[in-house]
Amino acid sequence: MDAAAMKDEVARAALAHIEPGMRLGIGTGSTAEAFIRVLAPKVREGMRIVGVPTSERTAKLCAELGVPLATLEDLPELDLTIDGADEVDPRLRLVKGGGGALLREKIVAAASSRMLVIADRSKKVEHLGAFPLPIEVNGFGLLSTTLAIERAGAMLGLAGPIQLRMAGDKPFITDGGHLVIDASFGLIPDPEALSAALHAIPGVVEHGLFLGLATSVLLAGRDGIERLGAA
């Protein structure tokens, strides 16, 4: 089973967690898009749900496939968010933001009673940090913010390349109009301490450590679906 097939399998497994009338947060990325593609036929068959998208890209695909949408202003409290992840550890702590939508993804997840993460088994790690940590930052004072991120990492014994994410020859811009710094810190022994240190930097808008948000995880592998956390 190739990666695309595993994404389709875990997306179909996520449907079992959807109930009629749900207010759904709908994530961003290739696995979330696989979920949208299996959700849309159920909607056409009469399943009543309303989705809140975590990115313009997600909103566009939902609109194309007929998945009804609202905003967080319309629905400030959600029943369930379904989203992917770049890494997940045994305590259901996540690294997210590879697609650049981490701020909206975190806001939507925090507004939800539950967060179901869907991914392939390669995203399961013992310790976070193999994937560069995305950090969404304000464009004003970029160099000062970058240096502050380096110092915050160094205080926790973390070091490695810290790079501004590019889109071709121009900086990548998030849906919120911010920039993204990818910090290759390597192994992160204390994600909570790093989260607090990054949040203390004024130029940091948000970071890709999702702590205490995921309530369950479905991981697709060649031998089926592995479940972590609550049902």
Q: Which of 8, 64, 16, 29 is nearest to 227 (CA)?
A: 16
- To the query of whether residue 105 is one of the catalytic residues in this protein, the response is yes
Residue 230 CB-density burial (10 A; 0-12 exposed, 13-18 middle, 19+ buried): exposed
Q: Which of 131, 134, 129, 133 is nearest to 179 (CA)?
A: 134
Q: At what angle do helices 191-199 and 142-155 cross, to 10 degrees?
A: 150
Length, in residues, of the chain = 231
Alpha carbon separation from 36 to 26, 62, 139, 186, 203 (Å, rounded): 8, 7, 32, 32, 34
Q: Which of 66, 34, 74, 31 is nearest to 47 (CA)?
A: 66
Task: Say if CB 86 and CB 120 are below 8 A apart.
Answer: no
Of 9, 33, 105, 136, which residue is the catalytic one? 105
Task: Say if CB 127 and CB 95 are below 8 A apart.
Answer: no
Active site positions, annotated: 105
